[in-house]
Chain A
Amino acid sequence: MIDAVRCADLSYRFGAHTAVDRVNLSIEPGEMFGLLGPNGAGKTTTIRMLTTLLKPATGSVAVFGIDATEQPMRVRRVIGYVPQMLSADANLTGVENVELFARLFDVPRKVRKERVTEALDAMGLSEAATRAAGTYSGGMIRRLELAQALINAPRLLVLDEPTVGLDPIARGNVWEYIRRLRDEHAMTVLMTTHYMDEADAYCDRVSLMHRGAIRTTGRPADLRAELGDGVTLDDVFRHYTGDTLSDKPEEGGIRDVRRARRTARRLG
């Protein structure tokens, strides 16, 4: 069986900083897979190479056997992508936001309206569909983005920190929608998160990422069991990295590097 995602010795550098360091990863079709780590661990950079936005420095990444560097357009047709930021167009209605992506994915005109309605219904947004997205709550925008990503019936759904910035109720709600999608459409889901409790509850398997490298991979329950009773995924992370997973950005992470660069440029 072809892996849904396969990274082989995947690396990326920002100048002298190695953001992603020889990552090897195999995700099976139908899996709900979590890439875990603090801010700056290299999760988003890995996702960016997978979604064809960045070209790997070395190594390769393939989605359902299609190489992201060699055939980026084909890769884009099999993935649905929801970035970290809540990013619907506030000036367009829910319907228009989804129709935009239906057009960009060449959904035939005959079935376009029908598919847009279905996607919005599936995300529980039928009542708000004709309202401007600017009036939506955070959780509604995230569901709207899921509807946008689903319009193409993707085989792989890529979610970058899907619940960041949402209140606890909206978070649980978004996870339920994601899980049902996976169950009903045999979709493969790859997500990044730094919320260990959520990863524990919803992911089939997780990889712990730290300073650009993957430290360990496995089922959350197995990873916990290896270290004994009453252990949380947070403890597992500390065990493998010697670091805590607090919300504060890790020192020397790429985000800090970028921010420092930006500040430097502004000053100079």
Chain B
Amino acid sequence: MTYAAPGAPPAASVEPPIVTDNPVAGITRLASRVITLCWVELRKIRHDRTELYTRAIQPTLWLLIYGEVFTRVRAIPTPEGIPYLSYLAPGIMAQSALFIAIFYGIQIIWERDAGVLTKLMVTPTPRSALITGKAFAAGVRALLQGVVVVIIAAILGVALTANPLKLLGAAIFLVLGAAFFACLSMSIAGVALARDRLMGIGQAITMPLFFSSSALYPASVMPGWLQAISKVNPLTYQVEGLRGLLIGTSTILWLDGVVMVGATIASITCASLLLPRLANR
């Protein structure tokens, strides 16, 4: 057996690359780490597609049963009188992204328990880059799941836009939503510190987030207090953005975009600050 040099030149003669801390280098490194962690996510999905299929069941049920029934009863007023199923479809896309993202906190606790997190943190990767990478990895998974929901919706006869720019815009909203909720979940992980506790908290917050958004019904039919909550719930802005782009309902698109970008940046910051607390436990 031969023991060839793992890295071509002998270790002792290799000078570490000179890393300056200028902003350009920082951004390049951030981009590189995000690409790397998205690559890992894609490899994992490629090795095991089961989750992609099992996670398609819930949105199918929501669209097929809930959607069809409420289209018939006409109980929910839709803007410009569009079919309820069309109104619902973007909400269900956002929901499936939310359900995926909320698991990332559990995943990071698992990585902590398994020693993977410390190993990642000893690489030249700043905490914020690690969190941003994981956030966008959640985005990648949500995007693939979003494609599945779009296909189901199209089969059920929802008229979605065919404009590639609008589809691209919708993809961005989906990724930002997943990134925000993944960071929210990782922040809670930094506080809760244990997997079982986070599972409970995750379960407890997903449905309130969902029901207090405009995913199922417009804010106009909500009681006043719920409308107020809906206005500060980023899921509302994600759903409105998706709906405006995919179905063509009226919305203030730039505002939806600004809120989602702002919320994502804030949640990345928060999760990055809480990461050492999680890692050193």
B9 close to A (CB within 8 Å): yes
| Contact residue among A74, A132, A153, A266 (Cβ-Cβ distance under 8 Å from B11) | A153
| Contact residue among B4, B47, B118 (Cβ-Cβ distance under 8 Å from A92) | B47
Determine the distance from Cα of A74 to Cα of B124 in the docked complex, in whole angstroms: 8
Are A150 and B118 interface neighbours, CB within 8 A? Answer: no
Are B33 and A118 interface neighbours, CB within 8 A? Answer: no
B162 close to A (CB within 8 Å): no
Are B3 and A184 interface neighbours, CB within 8 A? Answer: yes
CB contact under 8 A between A91 and B48, given known A81-B119, A150-B6: yes
B82 close to A (CB within 8 Å): no
Determine the distance from Cα of A90 to Cα of B7 in the docked complex, in whole angstroms: 24
The 8 A CB mask of A221-250 against B (1 = contact, 0 = none) is: 000000000000000000000000000000
Are B7 and A119 interface neighbours, CB within 8 A? Answer: yes
Determine the distance from Cα of A30 to Cα of B12 in the docked complex, in whole angstroms: 9
Are A111 and B115 interface neighbours, CB within 8 A? Answer: no
Least CB separation from A73: chain B residue: B124
Are B124 and A187 interface neighbours, CB within 8 A? Answer: no
Smallest distance from the beta carbon of B8 to chain A beta carbons, Å? 7
B78 close to A (CB within 8 Å): no
Least CB separation from A158: chain B residue: B122
Least CB separation from B129: chain A residue: A104
The 8 A CB mask of B1-21 against A (1 = contact, 0 = none) is: 111111111111010110101
A83 close to B (CB within 8 Å): yes
| Contact residue among A89, A148, A151 (Cβ-Cβ distance under 8 Å from B7) | A151
Smallest distance from the beta carbon of A168 to chain B beta carbons, Å? 20
Name which of A53, A79, A186, A262 has the most chain B CB atoms within 10 A of its CB.
Answer: A53
Determine the distance from Cα of A238 to Cα of B142 in the docked complex, in whole angstroms: 57
| Contact residue among B6, B10, B120 (Cβ-Cβ distance under 8 Å from A115) | B6
Are A104 and B120 interface neighbours, CB within 8 A? Answer: yes
B32 close to A (CB within 8 Å): yes
Within 8 Å CB of A132, what residues of B? 47
Are B47 and A121 interface neighbours, CB within 8 A? Answer: no
| CB-CB contacts below 8 Å: B22-55 with A | 29, 32-33, 36, 39-40, 43-44, 47-48
Are B8 and A104 interface neighbours, CB within 8 A? Answer: no
Smallest distance from the beta carbon of B120 to chain A beta carbons, Å? 7
CB contact under 8 A between A77 and B17, given known A85-B115, A89-B116, A101-B123: yes
B209 close to A (CB within 8 Å): no
The 8 A CB mask of B103-139 against A (1 = contact, 0 = none) is: 0000000000011101111111110000000000000
Using CB atoms and an 8 Å cutoff, list the residues of chain B in contact with chain A. Answer: 1-12, 14, 16-17, 19, 21, 29, 32-33, 36, 39-40, 43-44, 47-48, 114-116, 118-126, 194, 276, 279-281
Using CB atoms and an 8 Å cutoff, list the residues of chain A in contact with chain B. Answer: 29-30, 48, 51-54, 73-74, 76-79, 81-87, 89, 91-93, 96, 100-101, 103-107, 111, 114-115, 118-119, 121-124, 132, 145, 147-148, 150-155, 180-181, 184-187, 258, 262, 266
If A91-B47, A118-B4, A132-B47 are given as contacts, then 12 extra A-B residue pairs at C-beta distance below 8 Å, sorted by A number, are A77-B16, A87-B119, A92-B40, A104-B120, A104-B124, A107-B7, A115-B8, A121-B4, A153-B9, A153-B10, A155-B12, A185-B12
Top-10 shortest CB links A-B: A153-B7, A85-B115, A87-B115, A119-B6, A104-B123, A185-B11, A186-B12, A150-B6, A83-B115, A103-B36
Can you report 6 A-B residue pairs in the complex whose CB atoms are below 8 A from each other? A74-B16, A77-B124, A103-B36, A118-B5, A153-B14, A186-B10
